[in-house]
Amino acid sequence: MGLPNAASGDLSSEMEVDAFRRLFPIQFFERHLAESIRPDGRALGKARDTTIALGPVSSANGSALAKVGSTTMLAAIKMEVMTPSIESPDEGCIAVDFHMPPICSPIVRPGRPAEAAPVISKQLSDTISSSGMIDLRELSLVKGKAAWMAYLDIYCLDADGSLFDAALLSAAAAFSHLQIPFVALNDDGKVVFVSEEEGGENFEKEAVNKEKRKLKLNSLPFSLTCLLHKNYILADPTAEEESVMETIVTVVLDSSGQLVSFYKPGGSVLAYTSAVQDCVALTRQRSKELQMILDEAISGMEID
């Protein structure tokens, strides 16, 4: 027994659209852009739904899971005591590593490091440093002798476009969740970790920080990646959109709306002044949204 004509027609139509999408991706997207809408139903300047969960990794000192559409990032911070450098005796350090395991995308092959991973690691490290989000002196324990080394590892669990945006959001959320451990000086003058059971009023060792504490954060950086295609600007592109339209612009602003960085890795479309201004305006609006989402996640943790 065959399918009803209507159902058969719908199925045939869907197959034709899918075939057209695969064979002529530029034309497919341009038909949508002409109507000021994207294949997933979003307006051109609208970002995908975003969520943040704090503290998913219990063994880390700070962690966060950030989802932007399907793009998913897990950030975890581990604190270790190090000897500060001679040049900066009263400062700690932050080491950033971005990972793209094969599970995150079909284009990432087992045994082969993803080409994007070191690029995003460098971008993240530069952004965290230049944004002034963290005063490295806050990581000092004993000047010239001991300081904190914060190891930030970000794992991409699903790579569906705008990877840097989601990675930076997960990093900011993880640092917001971070609790610096309780440490003290032992009899040999070395800094040692102190468990909650060992601490307390009768604690005999010389405390360096008397209890777990939050890291003081300055203005948080937030970013938005946009695609430039002809006269169109698409905010928060998916992986499919990035593969079809190759000119990408990423704008990073801090919480006060000041420009932290502007990144355009090539592409065939020139970033004219008007386009740059539009991208910055979209990023400013997006930063406010992300700040609200992060604030809600932090408030939820405090209530729990």
Residues 188, 206: contact at Cβ < 8 Å?
no
Query: Would you say residue 249 lies in a domain?
Result: yes
> Model confidence over 190-233: pLDDT tens digits?
667 666 555 544 445 555 555 567 889 988 999 999 999 888 99
pLDDT at residue 261 above 90? yes
Domain of residue 160: give its range.
41-178+215-302
Q: Per the structure, how many domains does the chain have?
A: 1
Select the highest-mean-pLDDT range: 93-107, 178-192, 203-217. 93-107
Bridge partners of 232?
229
Query: ∠ CA 19-23-28 to the nearest 5 degrees?
Result: 80
Confidence of residue 115 (pLDDT cuts 50, 70, 90): confident
Quote the pLDDT of residue 136.
Answer: 94
Give the CATH number of the domain where residue 52 resides. Answer: 3.30.230.70
Separation CA 245–CA 33 (nearest Å):
12
Query: Would you say residue 6 lies in a domain?
Result: no
Query: Would you say residue 206 lies in a domain?
Result: no
Strand 146-158 relative to strand 93-99, pairing: parallel
Which is it for the CA torsion 290, 293, 297, 298, positive or negative?
positive
Query: Would you say residue 69 lies in a domain?
Result: yes
Query: Would you say residue 131 lies in a domain?
Result: yes
Query: Would you say residue 112 lies in a domain?
Result: yes
End-to-end CA separation in angstroms for the chain: 57
Strand 50-54 relative to strand 146-158, pairing: unpaired
Query: Would you say residue 191 lies in a domain?
Result: no
Query: ∠ CA 154-256-95 to the nearest 5 degrees?
Result: 25
Confidence of residue 4 (pLDDT cuts 50, 70, 90): very low
pLDDT at residue 174 above 70? yes
Query: Would you say residue 238 lies in a domain?
Result: yes
Separation CA 42–CA 277 (nearest Å):
21
Tally of CA atoms within 13 A in the half-sphere of 2 that contains its CB? 7
Residues 220, 86: contact at Cβ < 8 Å?
no
Nearest to 232 by CA among 49, 23, 32: 32
> Model confidence over 129-144: pLDDT tens digits?
999 999 999 999 888 8
pLDDT at residue 239 above 70? yes
Residues 282, 45: contact at Cβ < 8 Å?
yes
